[in-house]
């Protein structure tokens, strides 16, 4: 389905019906269709909304780089356009980072009654020495390329460095989305976690390397009403161990 939000085309999934509405926010570099296991299952007893966030899937890019708060503002505009006021929020990876922003707002117009964070992003990453060396090298090349005479001698130096040292998500992104990604990676949600007042379920992959299990334990420690379930698998453990994930979701969503 498609709708216009803030003058931009937005593609979204609207599936199922029931007394509860689930709003699922996808991770970086993917779109809502990746979560069909969750959508197909929950739509048997809930209405499930899954928008492609701006710049992903079938939704148009924003006109400027977005912060996580900008993506959260989009979610508010999207739900308002559909006339939705009460939801259970699910966020995977970067979608979790956006959901946390919404949950921490004191006067959020969207009533989020429960939250589920799937391998959520938002805790600063501790990288290996090799990672920092790659980043340092790229920044040096980028800085050198701005010096007088260097750019003319090596006109494609920065582009080549991006291809060599950048992540796959970074390489594939447009300039606007690259800047949005950089902003997101620098955003630390830790100060927001104590402001989350709703019951929050953390579902994590034991072997997640993108948002490691230590992140889940930090979130569990700082969110007042949080519980953690660890699944076999990595960053997409919800799909790798969907049988167990399904049972956990049902227990949390159908319980009072």
**pLDDT, tens digit (0-9, with 9 covering 90-100), for 33-57:** 999 999 999 999 999 999 999 999 9
Between residues 127 and 177, which one has the greater pLDDT? 177
150 confidence band (pLDDT: 50, 70, 90): very low
Q: At what angle do helices 68-82 and 94-103 cross, to 10 degrees?
A: 70
196 confidence band (pLDDT: 50, 70, 90): very high
pLDDT the model gives residue 173? 82
Indicate the fold that domain 2-124+188-254 takes in CATH: Rossmann fold (3.40.50)
The pairing of strands 8-15 and 47-51 is: antiparallel
162 confidence band (pLDDT: 50, 70, 90): low
131 confidence band (pLDDT: 50, 70, 90): very low
Residue 180 contacts residue 53 (beta carbons within 8 Å) = no
Q: pTM of the full predicted structure?
A: 0.86
Give dist(CA 68, CA 95) in Å, integer. Answer: 9
- Could you tell me which residues come within 8 angstroms of residue 163 by beta carbon, excluding any fewer than 6 positions away? 171
Q: What does the chain come to in residues?
A: 256
Residue 158, pLDDT above cutoff 60: no
Could you list the beta-strand ranges (E) of 124-210. Answer: 200-205
Give dist(CA 20, CA 197) in Å, integer. Answer: 19
Widest distance between CA atoms in the chain? 67
pLDDT the model gives residue 255? 79
**CB-count exposure of residue 186 (10 Å: 0-12, 13-18, 19+):** exposed
Give dist(CA 87, CA 256) in Å, integer. Answer: 15
pLDDT the model gives residue 169? 65
The neighbour count for residue 134, using CB atoms within 10 Å, is: 17
- How much of the chain exceeds pLDDT 70, in percent? 82
Cα–Cα distances (Å) from 124 to 48, 150, 210, in that order, read 30, 34, 11
- The first and second tokens of residue 197, run together, are 């007042």
pLDDT the model gives residue 159? 59
Cα–Cα distances (Å) from 140 to 144, 164, 173, in that order, read 6, 14, 22
- The first and second tokens of residue 192, run together, are 């927001």
Give dist(CA 168, CA 174) in Å, integer. Answer: 12
- Which of the residue ranges 89-93, 131-135, 203-207, 249-253 would you say has the lowest mean pLDDT? 131-135
Residue 132, pLDDT above cutoff 60: no
């Amino acid at each position: 389905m498609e709708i216009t939000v803030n003058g931009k085309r937005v593609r979204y999934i609207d599936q199922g019906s029931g007394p509860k509405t689930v709003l699922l926010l996808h991770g970086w570099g993917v779109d809502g269709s990746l979560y069909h296991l969750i959508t197909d299952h929950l739509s048997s007893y809930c209405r499930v909304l899954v928008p492609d966030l701006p710049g992903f899937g079938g939704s148009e890019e924003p006109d400027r780089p977005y912060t996580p708060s900008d993506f959260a503002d989009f979610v508010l505009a999207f739900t308002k356009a559909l006339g939705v006021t009460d939801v259970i929020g699910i966020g995977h990876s970067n979608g979790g980072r956006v959901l946390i922003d919404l949950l921490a707002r004191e006067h959020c117009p969207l009533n989020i009654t429960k939250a589920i964070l799937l391998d959520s992003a938002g805790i600063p990453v501790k990288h290996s020495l090799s990672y920092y060396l790659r980043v340092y090298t790229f920044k040096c090349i980028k800085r050198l390329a701005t010096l007088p005479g260097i750019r003319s001698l090596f006109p494609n130096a920065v582009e080549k460095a991006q291809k060599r040292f950048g992540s796959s998500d970074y390489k594939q992104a447009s300039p606007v989305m690259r800047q949005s990604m950089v902003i997101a990676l620098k955003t630390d949600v830790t100060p927001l976690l104590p402001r989350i007042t709703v019951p929050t379920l953390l579902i994590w992959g034991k072997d997640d390397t993108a948002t490691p299990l230590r992140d889940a334990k930090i979130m569990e420690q700082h969110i007042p009403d949080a519980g953690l379930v660890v699944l076999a698998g990595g960053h997409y453990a919800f799909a790798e161990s969907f049988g167990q994930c399904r049972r956990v979701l049902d227990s949390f969503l159908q319980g009072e």
